[in-house]
Amino acid sequence: MIVIKEAVKRFLDVNVLDHVNLTIEDGDKIALMGPNGAGKTTLVRSILGFYHLDSGSIEVDGLSPIKMRQRVLTNISFIPQTPPPIKLSLTELIEYVAKSSQVVPQAIFEEAKRLDLALEQNLSKPFFKLSGGMKQKMLIAIALAKKSKMLIFDEPTANLDPKAREKFYNLLEELDAKTSTIYITHRLEEVESLVNRKIYMDLGKVVEDERV
Ligand SMILES: Nc1ncnc2c1ncn2[C@@H]1O[C@H](COP(=O)(O)OP(=O)(O)OP(=O)(O)O)[C@@H](O)[C@H]1O
Ligand SMILES: [Mg+2]
């Protein structure tokens, strides 16, 4: 469970998060929406402890994502809006993830296969040299293989072709009902059948929070 109280994050004197209050229960499946610049990415990055709040608080299962970063991240898989420029080859990346997150490499291979990512042919390639869609598939495969309590996707399908998009959503339908998920998206129709809650942000505030 995530409890956000009066969260304020300022960049250049602008409240990018402006007194956000939100409680996310275990098993919630959330579509997080709102215009460009609304603060969606900033909110999830704060949940993940990437950003220090200027005031207010965030607790993930009672823990501060800043002070207990390692513990908090153990239970969360995050697919960023822009893939990081990882220099490791796919083999090295898989080894790294296996060691650091107790993920079985075989599980990554299986998820990749289901997303039509030609993993075997690309194992020696550095991650940053993959195509945009391949990077996204790789990150999704790792996230799903990790079997986290919570998945956070920041516009995960932006680079995926229509077929890959469909496969991705099929995989999500199989997720355990207890898994909490946050989808940041501009395409509600794609996640509508997967969510039980729609949250809209604008100008750093939660302006609508609807259970469906
Ligand atoms: N690291 C940063 N430094 C300075 N300003 C930032 C930083 N990150 C975000 N911002 C600003 O905060 C505001 C909200 O950005 P954010 O990325 O959270 O929006 P978003 O809702 O995710 O938008 P989009 O739909 O375009 O992804 C924007 O005005 C952005 O310029
Ligand atoms: Mg964003």
The per-residue pLDDT for range 161-187, each reduced to its tens digit, is: 999 999 999 999 888 889 999 999 999
Distance of CA 129 from the midpoint of ligand 2 (Å): 23
pLDDT at residue 177, as a whole number: 86
pLDDT at residue 102, as a whole number: 83
State how far the alpha carbon of 88 is from the alpha carbons of 29, 123, 137, 164, 190, in Å. Answer: 32, 10, 16, 24, 32
pLDDT band at 188 (very low <50, low <70, confident <90, very high): very high
Residues with CB under 6 A from ligand 1: 11, 16, 34, 36-42, 81
**CA angle centred on 171, ends 84 and 178, rounded to 5°:** 95
Distance of CA 208 from the midpoint of ligand 2 (Å): 18
Name all domains of the chain by residue range, CATH numbers in brackets: 1-75+148-212 (3.40.50.300), 83-146 (no CATH)
pLDDT at residue 49, as a whole number: 96
Distance of CA 95 from the midpoint of ligand 1 (Å): 32
Q: Whose CA is nearest to atom 6 of ligand 1?
A: 11
Which are the contacts of 106, defined by CB distance < 8 A and separation ≥ 6?
none
List the one residue out of 26, 20, 68 whose CA is nearest residue 181: 26
Nearest bound ligand to CA 40?
A: 1
List the one residue out of 210, 163, 160, 170 whose CA is nearest residue 194: 170
pLDDT tens by residue, 113-161: 999 999 999 999 999 999 999 999 999 999 999 989 999 999 988 889 9
Q: Which atom of ligand 1 is nearest to the CA of 45?
A: 18
**CA angle centred on 47, ends 41 and 51, rounded to 5°:** 75
Distance of CA 39 from the midpoint of ligand 1 (Å): 6
The number of helix segments (H) and strand segments (E) in the chain equals 7, 9
pLDDT tens by residue, 109-123: 999 999 999 999 999
Q: Whose CA is nearest to atom 13 of ligand 1?
A: 37
Question: What whole-number percentage of the chain has pLDDT above 70?
Answer: 100
pLDDT tens by residue, 53-101: 999 999 999 999 999 999 999 999 999 988 999 999 999 999 999 998 8
Nearest bound ligand to CA 35?
A: 1
Whether 196 shows a pLDDT value over 90: the answer reads yes
Distance of CA 66 from the midpoint of ligand 1 (Å): 20
pLDDT at residue 156, as a whole number: 87
Q: Which atom of ligand 1 is nearest to the CA of 204?
A: 14
pLDDT at residue 176, as a whole number: 87
Whether 29 shows a pLDDT value over 90: the answer reads yes
